[in-house]
């Protein structure tokens, strides 16, 4: 395994990670075919990007067969937390409440989502007492 500490993924790297999180281990061709459905991407660009992600410690590569298979080395939850922390710090001046207010004010939440948010806030209040 790579000893390099994983870095924050770029937008293009997040696209690839999202595919691997959803589908599990994939070849470059598998990833490229999915990417090509939504945006213009050359196969060699996808290949190079996945090789760079491997070097950065974001992906593992199984070379035991002729076709290399890649797996995400970083979890979706860890990556979401890392990116969210950075966004809160840089975009919302460290205020998680501003992020939540913006998200709720500009996104139509379902009654189920609102119930889930209320329950979570209630649990947080109990923990702080």
Separation CA 32–CA 40 (nearest Å): 10
Collapsing DSSP states into helix, strand and coil, what is residue 60?
strand
Cβ atoms of 118 and 112 within 8 Å: the answer is no
At 5 the pLDDT is: 55
pLDDT higher than 90, residue 24: yes
User: Per-residue pLDDT tens for 54-103?
Assistant: 999 999 999 998 899 999 999 999 898 988 888 899 988 988 888 888 88
Separation CA 63–CA 110 (nearest Å): 45
- Which sequence spans correspond to the domains of the chain? 11-72, 76-128
Expressed in angstroms, the distance from the first to the final Cα of the chain is 44
CB atoms within 10 A of CB 34: 19
Mean pLDDT across the chain: 89
Cβ atoms of 76 and 22 within 8 Å: the answer is no
Separation CA 97–CA 88 (nearest Å): 9
At 44 the pLDDT is: 94
Alpha-carbon dihedral 76, 90, 52, 13, rounded to 10 degrees: 50
Separation CA 90–CA 32 (nearest Å): 32
Say what the pTM is.
0.73
pLDDT higher than 60, residue 1: no
Fold of the CATH domain 11-72? Arc Repressor Mutant, subunit A (1.10.10)
């Amino acid at each position: 395994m790579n000893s390099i500490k994983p870095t924050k993924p770029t937008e293009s790297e997040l696209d690839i990670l999202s595919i691997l999180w959803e589908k599990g281990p994939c070849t470059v061709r598998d990833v490229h075919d999915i990417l090509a459905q939504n945006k213009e991407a050359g196969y060699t660009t996808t290949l190079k990007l996945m090789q760079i992600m491997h070097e950065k410690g974001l992906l593992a590569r199984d070379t035991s067969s002729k076709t290399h298979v890649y797996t995400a080395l970083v979890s979706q939850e860890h990556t979401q937390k890392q990116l969210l922390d950075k966004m809160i710090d840089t975009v919302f001046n460290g205020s998680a409440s501003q992020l939540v207010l913006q998200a709720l004010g500009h996104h139509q939440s379902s009654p189920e989502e609102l119930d889930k948010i209320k329950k979570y806030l209630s649990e947080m209040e109990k923990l702080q007492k």
